[in-house]
């Protein structure tokens, strides 16, 4: 995605630009409202950028909004948190219309057991057991304020909201919960996995195509984030030191 955006911007603005996303996503993961920032000297207006970009991008990428931001704004550094969904289709036969965005489970999962397991994943925790051994983050301490399961007919959706995520973290959480739903682990085993701080103790890494980044939260878009009033984590509560005044370029 980054390369496609940069190529289109270079054509539109007549200058080389560097697009920086709010975070990276694994190959095969979808993004509905990814955030990105860039600097350019062109005088093209934000509303013109949306129309011009979408006339050039392939069908699998779209720019839905563009906004001028203060000098120094960073889509990654100034984000407060992210909202992900992992989608599972349960049924003996797969649904071809959902195959690109849903992981197929031939058996109906024990959702009650999975919900019990999610209770161990909420709060500020060390997710060392739930990140790739190749993750280059300095540590795995993360704050998750929502880990919920929603069942809609044959579709089961795992919703996760948190301040930041390690490499493969959501996919390992999803895979572990699916393992719980299949009876491989008991709900309380998740607590043991967290305490072990050892990737080999957690469950499967779920396939990438079932995961979607739904939204990146910024200080001015927190109304629907659902962050608890008493939450404290890097970048929250928002202060003047962590959020610039309104006033140069986000896509």
Query: Would you please indicate which residues are annotated as catalytic (active-site) residues?
Result: 26
Nearest to 206 by CA among 22, 29, 4: 29
Distance CA 152, CA 100 (A): 18
First to last CA, the chain: 13
Distance CA 220, CA 125 (A): 26
Cis peptide before 218 (omega within 30 of 0): no
Nearest to 35 by CA among 70, 72, 2, 71: 2
């Amino acid at each position: 995605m980054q390369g496609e955006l940069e190529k289109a911007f270079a054509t539109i603005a007549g200058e080389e630009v560097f697009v920086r996303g709010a975070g990276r996503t694994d190959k095969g993961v979808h993004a509905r409202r990814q955030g990105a920032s860039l600097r350019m000297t062109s005088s093209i207006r934000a509303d013109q950028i949306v129309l011009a970009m979408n006339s050039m991008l392939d069908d699998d990428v779209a720019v839905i909004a563009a906004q001028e931001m203060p000098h120094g704004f960073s889509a990654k550094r100034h984000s407060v948190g992210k909202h992900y969904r992992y989608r599972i289709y349960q049924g003996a036969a797969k649904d071809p219309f959902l195959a690109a965005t849903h992981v197929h489970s031939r058996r109906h999962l024990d959702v009650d057991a999975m919900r019990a397991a999610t209770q161990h994943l909420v709060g500020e925790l060390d997710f060392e057991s739930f990140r790739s051994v190749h993750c280059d983050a300095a540590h795995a301490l993360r704050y998750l304020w929502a880990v919920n399961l929603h069942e809609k007919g044959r579709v089961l959706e795992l919703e996760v909201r948190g301040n930041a995520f390690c490499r493969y973290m959501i996919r390992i959480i999803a895979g572990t919960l699916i393992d719980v739903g299949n009876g491989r682990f008991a709900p309380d085993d998740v607590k043991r996995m967290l305490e072990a701080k050892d990737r080999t103790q957690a469950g499967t890494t779920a396939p990438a195509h079932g995961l979607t980044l739904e939204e990146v939260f910024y200080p001015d878009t927190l109304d629907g984030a659902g962050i608890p009033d008493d939450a404290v984590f890097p970048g929250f509560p928002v202060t003047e030191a962590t959020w610039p005044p309104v006033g140069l370029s986000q896509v």
